[in-house]
Amino acid sequence: MALFVVFQTTFFLTLLSLRTYQSEVLAERLPLTPVSLKVSTNSIRQSLHLQWTVHNLPYHQELKMVFQIQISRIETSNVIWVGNYSTTVKWNQVLHWSWESELPLECATHFVRIKSVIDDASFPEPNFWSNWSSWEEVSVQDSLGQSILFVFPKDKLVEEGSNVTICYVSRNIQNNVSCYLEGKQIHGEQLDPHVTAFNLNSVPFIRNRGTNIYCEASQGNVSKGIEGIVLFVSKVLEEPKDFSCETQDFKTLHCTWDPGTDTALGWSKQPSQSYTLFESFSGEKKLCTHKNWCNWQITQDSQEMYNFTLIAENYLRKRSVNILFNLTHRVYLMNPFSVNFENVNATNAIMTWKVHSMRNNFTYLCQIELHGEGKMMQYDVSVNVNGEYFLSELEPATEYMARVRCADASHFWKWTEWSGQNFTTLEAAPSEAPDVWRSVNSEPGNHTVTLFWKPLSKLHANGKILFYNVVVENLDKPSRSELRSIPAPANSTKLILDKCSYQICVTANNSVGASPASIIVISADPENKEVEEERIAGTEGGFSLSWKPQPGDVIGYVVDWCDHPQDVLQWKNVGPNTTSTVISTDAFRPGVRYDFRIYGLSTKRIACLLEKKTGYSQELAPSDNPHVLVDMLTSHSFTLSWKDYSTESQPGFIQGYHVYLKSKARQCHPRFQKAVLSDGSECCKYTIDNPEEKALIVDNLKPESFYEFFVTPFTSAGEGPNATFTKVTTPDEHSSMLIRILLPMVFCVLLIMIVCYLKSQWIKETCYPDIPDPYKSSILSLIKFKENPHLTIMNVSDCIPDAIEVVSKPEGTKIQLLGTRKSLTETELTKPNYLYLLPTEKNHSGPGPCICFENFTYNQAASDAGSCGHVPVPPKAPPSMLGLMTSPENVLKALEKNYMNSLGEVPAGETSLNYVSQLASPMSGDKDSLPTNPVEPPHCSEYKMQMAVPLRLALPPPTENSSLSSITLLDPGEHYR
C-alpha cells in the first residue's frame, strides 16, 4: 500500500512538471511557421499536391493546427483560391494536401504559399498566425514539347452536368486558333497571348466513347495544325432502387435491386459501377458479380435479423442503400404445381394443386382466379400441403382459365408466380328462345313470309347450335303442320303460305336439347293499311324514335330497318310500356337513308304496322345535279325542266333547287337575286323551295341574246356539286313566225311521203302497170287456128326482130323500109294506133294469124284505138310492099273462126312469133351505126296496142286511108342484133 502511495505521488509531480514546461514554451511564443514546402502536379487529375513540415515543434508533442493555403495563377497577386486545412501535427511529421484545379495546369503558372496557427485547447492564451511561407511556383508549360498547338486536359473524366474548363496553348501568337465542340465552334477567354480558356457549363452525355473537342491553328487560309482531346462524360451514378432480400428455403437470401443507368464508358475509361453487399451484424462483406442481384448464404447460427448495406461505386462517386429485416418475414414461396380439374360438368368443377413443403406446421394462403366470358372471379383458401377448391355456378360450354398462387399465411411477404390451366365445361340445352321476326309480302292467293332470327348469345346457347327447327301450323286447319330443320349458321328461311292464319314456332338446338320456342303468328288477312311516312333527323348517337301507343292490349313493340349496304333486315324489341327508343349502331353511315317501321304486337302475337319513319344519320350535299332540258325556246323566254331527276337516291332530303343564270347584261331578271359563286364570279340565282317542282320558265329575255344557266339541288347540308353552265341563245322575233309556217309544211310533206311509200304498190299498178305476160293472157284461151294447130307463144330469146321505129308525131310519121330505102310522106300516116310484129323468114309465104295486145298503160283513148286486123299477103311480096293490115273487125273475125283450136295443141317450134317492144330504139344500117336524129320517147297516149303476128301472116300494102305508126323493117338478110 505504501508503494502505491509513493507511485501516485511521483506521477502527480511529473504531470505538474510537464504542465509547467508547456506554460514556459507557450510563454516563449515558439515560431511554428511551415517550412520545406514542396508542390508536385498530377496531370491526370489536374491537381497540385503539397507537402510540408513544421519546425520547432516540441519532441513528441501533438498539437491541433490550422494551415491557410493561398494559390495564385499567372501572377502571385492573382489569388484564385484561399482555404484552411485543419489537422493534428506531430513532431517532425510531413504533412500532405491536394488541390484540384478547374483550369488545366498546363495552361497557366501557379503559385502556392502557406501559413499556420495553433488551434489546441492546451494553449488558452490567444494564438497568432505565423508568417507566410515563400511562394512556390509551379509551371508545366516548359515540359510540353515543340508542337505549335496543345489542347488540355487530356482524357478528362467528368459526370454529366458538370462544369469543365478547357484551354489551348499556341506557341505562335500569329496563328489564328478556332476550337470546336462536336463540330460546333466555341468561344473562350484569352488568359495571355498564348493561352485561351473555354468554360463548358453542364456538359451533356453524348456517347459512351466520349465527346470530341479539337482546335485548328491557321494563318490566312493555310492550316498549321489540328489538335484535339476526348472529354469523357459519364452518366451520374444512381442510388440502387427497390433493394430487397428474401428466401425460398431458409438457406439462401436472394437480394435484388434496380441498378439504374450503367455508367460504363468506352476505351476502358470507366467500367460499369460495382456493387458490394455488407451485413453489419456479422461484419461480412461480399462483392457482387451481377449488377442487379446477389445471393447471401444463411449461416446455421439461427440469425433472424439482418442489416444489409448495398454500395454502388464508380471512379467518380459512391452511392449506398440500407435495409433491415427479419428472415421469417421475407419468405418467398416456390410456385404451386400439379394444377388439375376433376368432375367437370356443365356448371361445376373441382380444382386441385400442390405446394412445396417449407417447415412443419407451415400454413399457406392461396388465391384462385377464374377467368371466363370476360369476367374474373377470385377466391382465397388456406392449405397446408395440397390444395383443393370447388368451383360452382359456371356457364355451360364455356372455356375457363383457372390459376393459383400462394404466400406465407403467418407473415405475408409476397405472392408466388401464377400456376394455372384451362378447362371447358360441358354443354347444356339452350336457355333462351331465339329472337324471331318476319317480313310478309302479299301476293294473289298466298303470302311470302321471310322468317329471320338472331343467333343466340354464347351465354344462352350453352353450346354449339347445330340447327333450327321451324314448325308451321295452320290455325284454320289445326291438323296440318310442317316441320323444317334449318342447319346452322343460317338465320333465315322463306315460307310460301296460303290465305290462312299460321302460327310459326322456332327453336334452337344443340347436342343436348332444344331451346324454348319463339312464336309468331301470320294472319290470314294481314293489315296493309297505308301509313304516312314521317321524316326524322338522326344524330351521331343514332336515331331517336317515338310513337303513339297502340290502343288495346299489346305485349310489346318491334322496330325494324335495313342496314346498308348489305340490306340486312334488323329489328329491335321494345317493351309494352315504352313508346320511344334510340336506334344506334356502327353500321349507320352518313348520306344513307334509313327507313324505320314500327309494329305493335298483340296478345295473339300478330304484328300490326303503326308508323313509318325515314331519315339520315347525317345528311350530305346532293351527289349529282339534274339533267336539264331546254323547251319552248322563244325570243323572250325558254323553259327549263328536269322531270327525270330522282330525289329518293340522294344523300339527303332535297329541299329545293337553285337556278343560276348568267347574261352579258349582268342584270338580274325579276324573281332572281344576285349571287357570288365559289370561283368569285357573279350571277343571278332563283330558289325553288318545292322539291317536286322540276320546271322553271325563264322569261323577260331579249331576242338574239346569249344566256348561261345551271341547276343544282340543295339539302340541309348544302348544294350539289359545281358543274359547267349550259349555253342557250334566244332566236329573233321573225324566226319564230317562220318556224310556225315551215313546221306544218314539213309535216305535211313528210305525211305525203309516208303515204306514198305505204301505197307505192297501188300507185305503181295504177300509173304504170307491168307489161302483161303473153303466157298469162286470157285471149290465148280463145285462139285455136285450124291451119296451125301447134301455135304457141314465143320466147323473147327466140325472137330476132328486124327493126321497128316508132315516131311519136300525131300529125304523121315516117315509115322507112330498109330493104328498098323508100320513104312514105308524113301525111300518109297521121295516126299511129298499132304495133305490128313482122316475120323474119325470107321464104315465108301464105297467110297467118295476127295477134295484137292492147296496153292500157298507154291506151288512154281505148275507144278510138281500134283493134288489130289480118290481111293476107302475097307469098312473093317483098318486104317493101308490105302494107297496112285490114281493119280490126276483120282480124276479130279471123280469130273467131279458129278460137276452138286450143293453143296447147300446137307443137312448140312449128310457129315463130316475133315480139318487138314499143320502146325499142330505131336502128338504120348495121349494128354499129348510131342514129343521127334520136327519136324522142313517145307519149303514153300514142301507144295503143301491142300484137304478135305469126310468121306466115303477110301484110297488105298500106293505103292512103290507113293510119299506122312509122315502122322500119330490115331486109330479109339483115338482122337486128
- CB-based contacts of 691: which residues, under 8 Å, 6+ apart? 647, 653, 654, 655, 656, 657, 713
Burial 355-386 (b: 16+ CB within 10 A, else e): beebeeeeebbbbbebebeeeeeeeeeebeee
CATH T-level assignment (fold) for domain 146-234:
Immunoglobulin-like (2.60.40)
Distances (CA, A) of 27 to 24, 30, 66, 89, 121: 5, 8, 20, 20, 15
**How far is Cα 804 from Cα 823, in angstroms, rounded to an integer?**
14
Q: Which residue has the cell 332540258?
A: 629
Residue ranges of the chain whose pLDDT lies below 70: 1-31, 124-126, 526-528, 565, 735-737, 772-977
Q: Which three cell numbers stand for residue 809?
A: 308525131
- Alpha carbon 334 to its chain centroid, in Å, reads 54
**How far is Cα 214 from Cα 154, in angstroms, rounded to an integer?**
11
Please state which of the four CATH numbers 2.60.40.10, 3.40.1310.30, 3.40.50.620, 3.40.720.10 is assigned to the domain occupying 337-424: 2.60.40.10
What would the CATH number be for the domain defined by 29-141? 2.60.40.10
Instruction: Please name every residue paired with 486 in a beta bridge, in sequence order, or none if there are none.
Output: 468
Q: In the CATH scheme, what architecture does the domain 628-730 have?
A: Sandwich (2.60)
Q: In the CATH scheme, what architecture does the domain 436-616 have?
A: Sandwich (2.60)
Q: Which residue has the cell 507511485?
A: 7
What pLDDT, in 10s, does the model give residues 612-660?
Answer: 999 998 999 998 999 999 988 888 889 999 998 888 888 999 999 999 9
Measured at the CA of 720, the angle between CA 716 and CA 723, to 5 degrees, comes to 160
Least Cα distance to 105 among 150, 45, 46 occurs for: 46
Q: Which three cell numbers stand for residue 247?
A: 428466401
Pairing relationship of beta strands 446-453 and 436-443 according to DSSP bridges: antiparallel
Burial 745-780 (b: 16+ CB within 10 A, else e): eeeeeeeeeeeeeeeeeeeeeeeeeeeeebeeeeeb
Write the single-letter amino acid at 947.
M
Within this chain, domains 29-141 and 628-730 share the same CATH topology: yes
The 10 Å Cβ neighbour count of residue 419 is 18
- What residue ranges do the domains of the chain occupy? 29-141, 146-234, 241-329, 337-424, 436-616, 628-730
Q: Which three cell numbers stand for residue 465?
A: 347450335
Q: In the CATH scheme, what architecture does the domain 241-329 have?
A: Sandwich (2.60)
DSSP letter (8 states) at residue 331:
B
Asked whether 454 and 468 are in contact (CB, 8 A), the reply is no
Least Cα distance to 502 among 526, 468, 480, 472 occurs for: 472
pLDDT of 823: 40
**How far is Cα 432 from Cα 209, in angstroms, rounded to an integer?**
71
Query: How many alpha carbons lie under 13 Å from residue 96 in its C-beta half-sphere?
Result: 4
DSSP 722-744: --PPEEEEPPPHHHHHHHHHHHH
Write the single-letter amino acid at 116.
S
DSSP 934-952: PPPPPPGGG--EEEEEETT
Pairing relationship of beta strands 375-383 and 364-372 according to DSSP bridges: antiparallel
